[in-house]
Amino acid sequence: MNLELTPVQAVACCSPLSREPLSASEAEGIAPLLKALADPVRLRLMSLVASHEGGEACVCDLNGAFDLSQPTISHHLKVLHAAGLLEREKRGVWVYYRARTDALANLAALIGGHSK
């Protein structure tokens, strides 16, 4: 049983980096989100999904964009989903992923924000 908050829920907690020091626990909550994004393949996956028409894409749209095996892409999608950056929805044989733009916006505000 796992009742922890997903990383995406932890990012809305804090004021921007430049405003006040992050506590240790806040930093430990946010780092996994950045870690999930900090990979070239996952960055491209996020941008492919986020910029895809309708704001979603199925795995079949994504596999072809990489020189990687299908299980590897599936693994990266799982990491992004576990971090809360992608939503998953199964429709028939296909699985559609959708970007959590709210999570991306919160993360961006944390990194680059100035005001409270």
Q: Angle at which helices 40-51 and 24-37 pack, to 10 degrees? A: 80
Position 79 contacts DNA (CB under 7 A): yes
Position 22 contacts DNA (CB under 7 A): no
> Are the beta carbons of 41 and 66 closer than 8 angstroms?
yes
Q: Provide the 3-class DSSP secondary structure of residue 99.
A: strand
Choose between 5 and 60: whose C-beta lies nearer to DNA.
Answer: 60
Q: How far apart are CA 73 and CA 88, in angstroms?
A: 14
If you write DSSP's letter for every residue of 64-93 in order, what string do you get?
TTSSS-HHHHHHHHHHHHHHTSEEEEEETT
CB of 38 to a second copy, least distance (A): 4
Interface residues toward a second copy, by CB under 8 A: 17-24, 27-28, 30-32, 34-35, 37-41, 43-44, 46-48, 50-51, 65, 99, 101, 104-109, 111-113
Position 77 contacts DNA (CB under 7 A): yes
Q: Kindly list the residues in this chain that would bind DNA in the complex (CB under 7 A).
A: 35, 38-39, 41, 58-60, 63, 67-79, 88, 90, 92-95
